[in-house]
Structure 1
Amino acid sequence: MHGRGIRRLGWFTHVPWFRVAALAIAATAGCGPLGAEAPDTVVPQVEQVEQGLTQVTGFGSNPGNLQMFRQVPAGVPANAPLVVVLHGCTQNAAGVEPGGWTAASNVYKFYVVYAQQPSSNNPTSCFNWFEPGDIARGAGEALSIKQMVDAMKAAYSIDPARVFVTGFSAGGFMVPAMLATYPDVFAAGAINSGGPYRCANSMTEGFSCMSPGISKTPAAWADLVRNAYPGYTGPRPRVSIWHGTNDFTVRPANLTESMKQWTQVHGIDQTPDTTDTVGGFPHKVYRDSAGTALVETYELTGMGHAVPVDPQYSFPGSSTACGATGAYQSDVNLCGVYHQALFFGLTETSTPPDDTTAPTVNVTAPVSGATVSGTVTVTASASDNVGVARVDFYVDGNLVGTASTAPHVFSWNTTTVANGSHVLGARAFDAAGNSALDADTSVTVSNGGTTPTTVSFTSIAAEDGYVKANADGSAAELGTLTGLALGRGVDGKHNRPLLSFDTSSLPDTASITQAFLTLSYSSGSGDPWASPAGNTLVIDVATGTFNAAATETGDWGASATASAVAGVAKFTSGTIRSTDFAGAGASAVNTRGRTQLRLRFAQNPAATAYLFVKDGANATLTVVYSP
């Protein structure tokens, strides 16, 4: 296997805080020579097995110095398809393998190759999608990946008309490079959180391509593809493009630019021929005159920088789950691997109808028109043709509780609202994301004594911040990014934000009966609630402040007046209300000055998985009290 000299650093990371480091290191890094192209037919050698994947060496001249891992399902027939999977930065083959492609290959019987970027090429294991020498036909990493395909064809019975490539982030940018340089090898590809081919020709341009994105005319984009293999007149690969609308690492504008590039390459316009939703997400299809889907896009509303998985979903005709949550693998109740395999034609079944049937739901107790007081059990009946995933309960349009299993009930403390008329609602969701709302139950609250008072406090942005530290609290330092980080970052540190509220306007005699926090989502990647499984986001309260009013490093592990007083359910967009503070938490709200809240995951995430929430006016502490 031929090596290379010191290489210019590739896409350095998924998140912005590495940009300065990337640029600094790149300034001192040299550019090594490119290896020569090897013959197409090679005899690969098998090395070790890594977490179910078998490493293969000797698969060609390998000028990109990449590593190759293969997945061979049991009972694979002759003339089977092949899918090449390209990981993102900070990932490797074993890390992305649980995302679903191995599972799908076992169900639908096709081969999988996982290409891996070693850290010797790039400190954060990113494919160098912006380096001209790595994205040209017959050179660098592009040739190494093509040689992996050649090696599989030499070792197994592969259908040359059914070879596909899919990738995420840096790998997602490498997908169009493979489609552009080797249209004679790949029949189709899936771009996940990537962008158009040759939107960058240097690392600096790469950052601009990632965010805010680079716009070109469809013709200009298409010329870049055609020039990658001059004189080629054969069919062009079909393309499936996926992007989270809350991706702040690679901006969603890249989806549009990729669509412009590949529709123009195919000679079709940029107006979708089909516009629908799949699992509740916008889906557009661009067809030729014969009705063949040549390009499709999925806009994953509310998802950050990740690929969509659905561990509760089984591939049709099997009991095999669609992947697992993990770093950059978000459970959004949509199996991206299945729909990409469907686009590739790998499922060998007719397209199953999408579940577009909404559940039914009805608030059955209390009955509309009832007069209630004290604590009341609110009950909803819900049903669905496939199954009910959860039921959310609302009072006057505000989310107050969730029930994930039947019977769907919620215990409502009516003293938290003023006496008078209130509307109860329930919204049921199924696994496909369909939902239905019942909000026609009106009740009258009549509690004796003084009517409770509800007040809301916005956080003090100048005092808010976050602290990151090792799992044991060592090496704590203040976070410097915009927003408040939670979970585990790519640097391996665990982030805990602090929110400061001036609650001195509460009467000294106030009897606090309820308190809760409302948060606003900014961005994120991965699923910290699933790392480890069942992880919870909890809130600690300090009467006054943990240390000084402004955030400081000691706040990460400082003692709280009341710990884990409330929880915050998983959310990937919009706002969310915490559960009500436990009694100790409500009592810890300070009527004479500051009240500080610290957010943390009860268990330190085992892998990179994080989110950012907003501060200031976007974080609200609501308190209900009797004077």
Structure 2
Amino acid sequence: MRSLSATLRRLNRLSETDASRFRSARLKPLEGFGSNPGQLRAWSHVPVEVGRSPALVVVLHGCTQTAALFDACSGWSRLADDNGFFVLFPEQLRSNNANLCFNWFNPVDIRRNSGEALSIRQMVEHMIKRHSVNPSRVFITGLSAGGAMANAMLAAYPEVFSAGTILSGLPYKAASTVPEAFDRMRGHGLPDGQTLRTKLRNASDHQGPWPTVSIWHGAKDDTVVPANARAIVEQWRGVHGVGRQPTVTQQRGGGSLDIWKDASGRDVIELYTLPGMAHGVAIDTSAGYEMSGRFFLDVGLSSTIETALAWGLIKTPIERRIKTPSRTPDGISAVIERALRAAGFISSK
């Protein structure tokens, strides 16, 4: 039997094959956007028809992924064409991180005006100026390491983003080394709520208003355990002035949606918890924008569409189909089986 390390190497090679397969004319390289201290690559998508007061969505891929692959499965550029907004895809380089993860745990890369965070900020500013984007309509989302980096951008540059969606991500400044990063992913040693809120407050001198935050997490996620989702809620409660308990809880697709409203009645924090879902992006292939792939899980509820609706980006009516996600087996063998099945080593039948 192949060793786990050998299997991971093969999966990494497959991700490179996927990148080649999904590279298309939909994404164009973004060049000359600034000093780029984090040495990231950037891609963008310009819609067929630009809407009035156009918005910008920043999308951060997960580990072993590329911008092209993430876009192909998440459907963001196709949704942008139908609704007239711009999409920016920062992309990690293997020279920065061997597994193509954004360095969400490295203090230099998540600090305001430094490293990868500054590179992404420069990309955003370039897009705003080049395409006359409405600065009050800039949003960010990301998966896993990209979700953690999206949270870091919201913390370091809260004046830049109106809202963010964190998919299977982690709190800002929960780790500062690689070993700590792995511990936090497993739920070990997560800072307490007050410490997390202080880290957020100290990330900038911003006094508000603060971006709204939506958090999506699978209850069966054993790569980044669900304790991280609850920790992100704790991190953002303070600046939004909301209590520990949600204002409203709704049942959604067999899962739950907890909503925290501020004093004005505005939804400021959302937590989607999806039972049976493992690590990845919640999608609904029946909606016509997304497609299944490694870490893109068809649970009948589209995080892309729900996020775009919440941000006021969608002008084309979309049927919102919801179904109960199927449960996934527990255990490390199941994790490996899912990875091998997604990679094509095991038949799906």
TM range (shorter): 0.7 to 0.9
Which residue of 312, 317, 320 maps to 1:345? 312
- What corresponds to 2:13 in structure 1? none
Mapped to 1, the partners of 2:268 and 2:125 lie a distance apart of 25
Counterpart of 1:513 in structure 2 is none
Instruction: Note the C-alpha offset of 1:432.
Output: 1.9
Q: 1:58 aligns with which of 21, 32, 39?
A: 32
When residues 280 and 118 of structure 1 are mapped into structure 2, their CA distance, relative to the original with a 3 A threshold, is: same
- C-alpha distance in 1, partners of 2:181/2:35? 27
After superposition, the Cα gap between the structure-2 partners of 1:240 and 1:214, relative to the gap in structure 1 and judged at 3 Å, is farther
**Partner residue of 2:333?**
483
5 Å-filtered alignment, 1:2-41, equals none
The Cα offsets for residues 430-487 of structure 1, whole Å up to 9 and x where unpaired, read as: x52269xxxxxxxxxxxxxxxxxxxxxxxxxxxxxxxxxxxxxxxxxxxxx9425665
In structure 1, the partner of 2:146 is 171
In 2, Cα distance between equivalents of 1:169 and 1:52? 24
- Shift, 1:346, TM fit: 1.6
1:154 positional shift: 1.7
Bigger-Rg structure (1/2): 1
1:166 partner SS: strand
Q: 1:283 to 1:353 in 2, by over 3 A?
A: farther
AA partner of residue 30 (structure 2): V
Instruction: Look up the match of 2:183.
Output: 208
Distance 2:44 2:83 in 1: 16
1:289 counterpart SS class: coil
**Could you report, residue by residue, the CA deviation over 1:503-538 in whole angstroms, capped at 9, with x for unpaired residues?**
xxxxxxxxxxxxxxxxxxxxxxxx73xx77xxxx9x
Distance 2:51 2:136 in 1: 15
Corresponding residue for residue 292 of structure 2: 325
Counterpart check, 1:252 vs 2:251: no
- Aligned in 2, Cα 1:153/1:485: closer, same or farther, shift over 3 Å? closer
2:328 match: none
> Of 43, 61, 65, which aligns to 1:69?
43
- TM-score normalised by L of structure 2: 0.87
Structure showing the higher strand proportion among its residues: 1
Q: 1:328 to 1:227 in 2, by over 3 A?
A: same
CA distance in 2, matches of 1:152, 1:346: 17
Secondary structure of 1:235 counterpart:
coil
Aligned residue-pair number: 325
Aligned to 2:203: 228
C-alpha distance in 2 between matches for 1:122 and 1:64 = 11
Q: Write the deviation string for residues 565-587 of structure 1: whole angstroms up to 9, x where unpaired.
A: xxxxxxxxxxxxxxxxxxxxxxx
Q: Deviations over 1:116-153 (max 9, x none)?
A: 00111111111000000000000000000000101101
Q: Tell me whether 1:432 sits opposite 2:322 in the alignment.
A: yes
TM-superposed CA distance for 1:216, in Å, is 3.5
CA contact (8 A) 2:300 2:324 kept: no
Gap runs ≥5 in structure 2: 10-22, 326-330
Q: 1:305 corresponds to which residue? A: 279
Separation (CA, whole Å) in 1 of partners of 2:314 and 2:210? 22
Match of 1:264 in 2: 238
Please report how far the alpha carbon of residue 274 of structure 1 lies from its aligned counterpart in structure 2 after TM superposition: 1.1
Partner of 1:57, secondary structure, is coil
Of 122, 132, 136 in structure 2, the residue corresponding to residue 147 of structure 1 is: 122
- Mapped pair 1:132 → 2:99: no
Q: Secondary structure at the match of 2:213?
A: strand
Alignment of 1:610-621 (within 5 A): none
Cα drift, residue 349 of structure 1: 7.8
Partner of 1:601: 347
C-alpha contact 1:51 1:94 (8 A) present in aligned 2: no
Identity %: 40
Give the distance between the partners of 1:147 and 1:201, measured in 2 at CA. 24
Task: Tell me what 2:265 maps to.
Answer: 291
Local SS of the residue matching 2:141: strand
Gaps of 5+ in 1: 1-16, 23-48, 314-320, 355-430, 436-480, 495-526, 538-599, 604-627
Alignment root-mean-square deviation, CA: 2.5
How big is the shift at 1:265?
2.2
Aligned pairs for 1:573-612 (under 5 A) are 600-601=346-347
Q: Identify, as 1 or 2, the structure richer in helix.
A: 2
- Cα–Cα, structure 1 residues 154 and 210, in superposed 2: closer, same or farther, change >3 Å? same
Secondary structure, aligned partner of 1:80? coil
Residues 486-501 of structure 1: pairs in structure 2 closer than 5 A = 489=339, 494=340
Residues 50/56 of structure 1: CA separation in 2 closer, same or farther (3 Å cut): farther
Q: Deviations over 1:569-614 (max 9, x none)?
A: xxxxxxxxxxxxxxxxxxxxxxxxxxxxxxx4169xxxxxxxxxxx
- 3-state SS of the aligned residue for 2:134? strand
| Compared CA separation, residues 261 and 235, structure 1 to 2 (3 A) | same
